Structure 1
Amino acid sequence: MTSRRRGALRATAAVLVAAIVVGASGFLVYANVTSAAEREPLAEVADDPAISLDYSRDSVVMAPASDANGEGLVFIAGAKIEPVAYAYKLSGLVDAGYTVVIVRPFLNFGLFETRPLSAFTSLAPDVSDWFVGGHSLGGVKACMYADSPDVKGLVLFGSYCANNLSDSELTVVSLSGSADGLSTPAKIDANAKALPADTTFVEIEGANHAAFGDYGLQAGDGDSSIDDSDMRDIITDTITGALQ
């Protein structure tokens, strides 16, 4: 090989390495620019004396201040959404006796998450029975965790499974929004066959994709017309009714 050819190969390799580094750096920046939680709904949860709230950048643990029922939900946040953005909408479950652990997945994308479920259930050691759930891509990852004998049920917010759970004995709740522009009702229906036949499906009238949390508008979504407190009540009543 001539010195000129070796030089050309080295230059090509250097360009490729540089492109990979720039691409990876750009993705890391993109992945870590997240939709922040709105303050007022979070403040309402923090001020609720019936809820013990402990949160960090990567997780939120909400537990009943008293009368816990020994059951808990590990909930995987949607792509690029702050975990605390789901605190208010899930707080009704805590009032009903459930402990809720909301998780930030690796690089803010559920499909990149490789930690075992025990990494999250260990945050609430007093809970004996666990359900899993998630919003959007977080729900896709929750479906994967649900394929385990240690999990009692699955809760999906504007989401559906990539793996087949139709033969499982899980208790499953799938909530969708009539105005969801991302996980549309049609997509939820098209993927329903991956869930057990007795799955509880509820389409919430007036809810868009972002209505399942409190983080503002989302590109490509529809317009929501449902009140936050009404959304919280429907989520609470539907899930507790199915899990009980």
Structure 2
Amino acid sequence: MPRMRAPRSRGRRIVVRALWSLGALIVLIVVGTLVWTQVGVMSAEPDPLAQARANPALEIEDAPEGTVLSPADGDSDVGLVFIPGAKVQPEGYVATLQELAAEDGITVVITRPWLNLAFFDPRGLDAFTSAASDVDSWMVGGHSLGGVRACQLAPDADALVLFASYCANDLSDSGVPVLSLSGSEDGLSTPEKIADARDLLPADAELVEIDGASHASFGSYGPQAGDGTPTITDAAVRVQITELVGDLAAAVR
């Protein structure tokens, strides 16, 4: 009789070993993913960040919802929830977005995506707008992968702003006002990729290509692998971003 049970025992051992192997593989994948999300995070360039912090018309707060930029006089009735690109430190966008608050009175909430990747962050728009409960109207936007996530949150917002990004979900019938900013020298969200996704946006979406801007021109975190070479200064790009987003904010007020 014991000999008749041997095949069953061997089968159980094989199943147990297979389950242990599968479990070990899952652990390795999870650990590897966690390590990858923390390696190569692009940090804010120190000089532009220091200049923004010295801006007397700007208030910068490290809040639970993210890094909050607001006008020093406290007068703000429109906000922008901004989602960073993949593995870019949120502070890498403070210098780029500072004048939206300082000049145009827009409260900007730069989020901190879970694991530094927007698609790992399932939080809704209200998780960030709570940083400024007195703001009446909210735009949502993001850079690169952050813009893809912003598209998913757009139905809950008053407007959408894409910074060197494009949508993966269909907003063509949403009625949401859309401003899409891109760079002629972008080597990642290339003009061709943005054009290919144009049909996912409403027909009246405004698409503006900033001549000479690269992918990294939409932040202040240094050059990025795979990107093109900008032929325009970050300061010049910043001026155009401030003007164009400011015009959209005025329209949704």
TM band (smaller chain) = over 0.9
Tell me the residue number matched to 2:139: 131
Shift of 1:67: 5.7
1:163 is aligned, of 157, 166, 169, to 169
- CA distance in 2: counterparts of 1:69 and 1:145, whole angstroms: 22
Deviations 1:31-64 (A, max 9, x none): 1221111111111111011111012697210000
1:30 to 14, 27, 36: 36
Report deviation, 1:231.
Answer: 1.0
Q: Distance in 1 between matches of 2:228 and 2:234?
A: 16
The more displaced of 154-163 and 49-58 is: 49-58
Q: What residue is the counterpart of 1:11 in the other structure? A: 17
Greater mean alpha carbon deviation, residues 138-147 or residues 166-175: 166-175
Please give the TM-score of this superposition, normalised by the length of structure 1. 0.94
What is the RMSD of the two structures over their aligned residues, measured on CA atoms?
A: 1.5
Change in Cα spacing, 1:168 to 1:58, as seen in structure 2 (3 Å) is: closer
Whole-Å separation in 2 of the counterparts to 1:66 and 1:76 = 25
SS of corresponding position for 1:173: strand
**Structure 2 residue aligned with 1:94, among 95, 101, 104?**
101
Query: Within 2, Cα distance between the matches of 1:41 and 1:180?
Result: 21
Q: Which runs of 5+ in 1 are unaligned?
A: none
Could you list the runs of 4 or more consecutive aligned residues of structure 1 that deviate by over 3 angstroms after TM superposition?
Answer: none
Residue correspondence of structure 1 range 1-244 to structure 2 within 5 A:
1-33=7-39, 34-55=41-62, 59-66=66-73, 68-95=75-102, 96-148=104-156, 151-244=157-250
Q: Work out the percentage of aligned pairs sharing the same amino acid.
A: 48
Please report how far the alpha carbon of residue 241 of structure 1 lies from its aligned counterpart in structure 2 after TM superposition.
Answer: 2.0
Indicate the structure (1 or 2) with the bigger Cα radius of gyration.
2
Q: CA deviation at 1:128?
A: 1.3
- The number of residues matched between the two structures is 242
Of the structure 1 ranges 67-76 and 36-45, higher mean CA displacement relative to structure 2 is found in: 67-76
Change (3 A) 1:217 1:58: farther
Using the TM superposition, give the Cα deviation of residue 69 of structure 1 relative to its aligned residue in structure 2, in angstroms: 3.2
Q: Which runs of no fewer than 5 residues in structure 2 stay unpaired? A: 1-6
Three-state SS of the structure 2 residue aligned to 1:180 is: coil
User: CA deviation digits over 1:159-217, x for unaligned, max 9?
Assistant: 11111112233221100011111110011111111111221111111111111111122
CA drift at 1:93: 0.6
CA shift at 1:226, angstroms? Answer: 1.5
